Structure 1
Amino acid sequence: MHRIQPARLGFLYPGHAAEDDFPLMGTMIEPPAEVHLVHTEFLEDAHTVEALSEMGSMSRLLQGATSLEGLGIEAVMWTSTSASFVLGLDGIRQQIDALEKQLGVPASTTAMAFARAVKAVDAKRVAIAATYPEDVALLFCQFLNHFDIDVVHHSSRGIVTAAEVGTLGKEDVIELAFQNTPREVDALLIPDTSLHSVAWLTELEEITDTTVLTANQVSFWEALRLCGKLTPQPRLGTLFEEIP
């Protein structure tokens, strides 16, 4: 039987918050993945459309991407949900095209990973537990509507900075999930890459009794999918258990 070679994955991550989720996932899968994470820069740590648009600008992405050149990565992710969906589908396509041209490997964004992951788990009706302010959370709902994903419930925690989101612990995340999972949904989406989630995916699905998709989880899944090395894995939620 052919043994799959370890994946070499690149992640562009704005600032410092929950980036340790990515090397953790690299160790949780078999075979372990080689994770290259680059912190990108921005002018302001704020969940506002203006700040997020600057954070996800071509200049910021391509500046960060230079640090991934020559490392032999097989896929690259722009690992911010909000700093891609606030730019709309055209903006996301520009981000992906620019990264693919610079690095010569498949690219995607966390927002696109969510759309694909929802389809992969065949979720028709979803709920959203967002840490963002309300206006940004609504933009995520609008983004999902492009893919005929029915958002039946959404909440907004109203946290302005990614740094603050990164301080939320296990109990905070479990409470956020539990309070925002109506009975009639097929999946709960938690869209902020600044929020730790990976160590608690199994517990999140147990407490909500549904499929849970988190930003860092779907980003890692998408990176593996892009380079053709996505295989069933335990401990990383329903999304990783059965690969369509």
Structure 2
Amino acid sequence: MTALGILYPGHFAKDDYPRIEQLLGSDIRVDLIETGADADPYPYPATADRTDRLERSVEALRLSGAEAVVWADGDGGFGRGWEGAHAQVRALARAAGMPASSTSFGFVHAVREVGVGRVAVAAPYADETTALFTDFLRAGGLEVAAAHSARGATADEVARWGERELLELARAADTADAQALLVPGTALHTASHIAALEDGLGKPVLTANQVTVWEALRLTDRRVNAPGLGALFTREPIVQV
């Protein structure tokens, strides 16, 4: 049994994680620890520093037997810039006593895993927050062909989106020269819709909660074939960083 630790802000789409655990269909356990969040973090101050909150949450993960931990909050990672996000992850690893990463770095690693370098971004954020995410991707060596923001949507609103709304967001962002589509935002329920998104666009689709679990698996050197979770979970070999 491999236990993965996920630090998750709030509650908006936390039920994606047991769904992902089910779709993995293997000896993988996904342990979710809620770190607490502002009442509605969309739009949030993308440069907010939540390192102290994370460090207070890791004791529960140690007690659960987690082998790696991923901070499932985009703004707390990419909003601090490439170097700031690295510093946050290092602090989290020291506090947890285990390998650590964040969803933001997970996106960069996952894009490399599916073998592409040029992406489009479909974000449930305000324009300025989406720009910070694309800046982070470029700092990671990726080319961003296009980006689209949902702008005025709140976390509560996007948490209620279904397949139709996700497809609309994805199609608004997608371009013919983008080799994959990225959908950041851990408040979005995407675990049950990845296959439909990939079928609709004809290319790999990487979503925040999917990427978060994959990044935790990467940290533990585990490889799980789970076609229901999209192209990311059917590629070989796993990225080594």
How far residue 30 of structure 1 moved from its aligned partner, in angstroms, is 3.0
Instruction: Mark the runs of 5 or more structure 1 residues left unpaired by the alignment.
Output: 1-5
Q: Distance in 1 between matches of 2:207 and 2:175?
A: 17
2:198 is equivalent to residue 193 of structure 1 = no
Cα deviations across residues 69-89 of structure 1 (Å, max 9, x unaligned)?
Answer: 221101111001122100112
Which of 3, 11, 15 aligns to 1:8? It is: 3
1:20-169 equivalences under 5 Å are 20-48=15-43, 50=45, 52-54=46-48, 56-159=49-152, 161-169=154-162
Which of 197, 202, 221 aligns to 1:204? It is: 197
2:207 is equivalent to residue 214 of structure 1 = yes
1:79–1:219 Cα contact (<8 Å) kept: yes
| Cα distance change, pair 160–175 in 1 and its aligned pair in 2 (3 A) | closer
How far residue 234 of structure 1 moved from its aligned partner, in angstroms, is 1.7
1:8–1:73 Cα contact (<8 Å) kept: yes
Q: If the length of structure 1 is used for normalisation, what is the TM-score?
A: 0.92
Q: Distance in 1 between matches of 2:119 and 2:38?
A: 33
Q: If the length of structure 2 is used for normalisation, what is the TM-score?
A: 0.93
How far residue 181 of structure 1 moved from its aligned partner, in angstroms, is 1.4
1:231–1:243 Cα contact (<8 Å) kept: no
Letter in 1 for 2:81: G
How far residue 217 of structure 1 moved from its aligned partner, in angstroms, is 0.8
Aligned residues: percent identity?
36
Cα deviations across residues 146-201 of structure 1 (Å, max 9, x unaligned)?
Answer: 12211111001014532222111121112211232111110000011110111011
2:213 is equivalent to residue 226 of structure 1 = no
How far residue 208 of structure 1 moved from its aligned partner, in angstroms, is 0.6
> How many residues align structurally?
237
2:13 is equivalent to residue 18 of structure 1 = yes
Q: Distance in 1 between matches of 2:52 and 2:43?
A: 19
Q: Distance in 1 between matches of 2:159 and 2:58?
A: 23
How far residue 35 of structure 1 moved from its aligned partner, in angstroms, is 1.6
Per the alignment, in what secondary structure is the counterpart of residue 5 of structure 2?
strand
Q: Distance in 1 between matches of 2:172 and 2:79?
A: 25
Q: Distance in 2 between matches of 1:35 and 1:159?
A: 32
How far residue 47 of structure 1 moved from its aligned partner, in angstroms, is 3.4
Cα deviations across residues 189-236 of structure 1 (Å, max 9, x unaligned)?
Answer: 001111011101111000011110111111111111101112322211
1:26–1:32 Cα contact (<8 Å) kept: no
What's the C-alpha RMSD, in Å, of the aligned pairs?
A: 1.5
Instruction: Extract structure 1 runs of 4+ deviating beyond 6 A.
Output: none
1:49–1:86 Cα contact (<8 Å) kept: no
Cα deviations across residues 115-158 of structure 1 (Å, max 9, x unaligned)?
Answer: 00111112121100011000000001110111221111100101
